[in-house]
Amino acid sequence: MKLLIDDANIDEIRRLYDLYPIDGVTTNPSILAKSGRQPYDVLKEIREFIGEEADLHVQVIAKDAEGMIEDAHRIVKELGQNTYVKIPCIPEGFKAMKALKKEGIRTTGTAIYTAMQAYLAAKSGASYAAPYVNRIDNMGYNGVGVAKEIQDIFEIHGLDCGILAASFKNSQQVLELCEYGIEAATVAPSVIDGFVNNVAITAAVDAFVKDFEGLTGEGKTMK
């Protein structure tokens, strides 16, 4: 499963890339707003750091197809052809996805709360569909269940579209989808850190070091 960072903070992106096997970055307009900087300044900095081949997903703002297509043109012009343009799965969004597919611009259907939205995105030529796992949970439904349902539908109908599961609030949600063979997950930095943030892990590592230092002296390592 590809693991992407759902954040636009360059320090956090650098830190996580340094530590973990990261495959790319996703942003949305709310995430960009948090930076307090001009969107393309932030996005170009991210693109430069992750490299031109890495996955970067950037969302349009316009709500009509024509405007979405214009946004998409600017996004790929500024950030490169390898950028996935996130298009909300609303009626005008499908229209934009179909047009962008003809132009060879890759899209990610986003703001997905139902499997039918994902089905329409895939049929409209999107490369990815992004179900909002935790937001669906918050509505009293099963976010992981919806993502799995989408995976099944894509398989049954032979649709060539990946799932980029999004909006996670805990490790368990990510784990369940990893186990189900979901192609990609985009995860906030705090949730990624949570994968290995466990007192039992820290205690085990500390105990090994303490035992070793009892033999060789404080600060000694295997070097």
Catalogue the active-site residues.
Answer: 86
Rg (CA), the chain: 20
**What ranges make up the beta strands (E) of the chain?**
2-6, 24-26, 55-59, 83-88, 107-112, 128-131, 162-165, 184-187
Least distance from C-beta 120 to ligand E4P, angstroms? 17
- DSSP 8-state symbol, 132: B
Nearer to ligand E4P, 105 or 130 (CB): 130
Least distance from C-beta 108 to ligand E4P, angstroms? 7
Nearest C-alpha neighbor of 121 from the set 110, 133, 106: 110
Amino acid at 91: P
Least distance from C-beta 28 to ligand E4P, angstroms? 3
Distance CA 67, CA 75 (A): 12
Nearer to ligand E4P, 117 or 186 (CB): 186
Binding positions for ligand E4P, rule: CB under 6 A: 6, 26, 28, 110, 130, 132, 134-135, 166-167, 186
Q: Coil, strand or helix: which one is 130?
A: strand
Nearer to ligand E4P, 82 or 134 (CB): 134
Residue partners of 168: CB distance under 8 A and separation at least 6: 6, 133, 134, 174, 185, 187, 188, 191
Nearer to ligand E4P, 151 or 186 (CB): 186
Q: Roughly how many angstroms between the first and final C-alpha of the chain, as a whole number?
A: 35
Least distance from C-beta 111 to ligand E4P, angstroms? 8
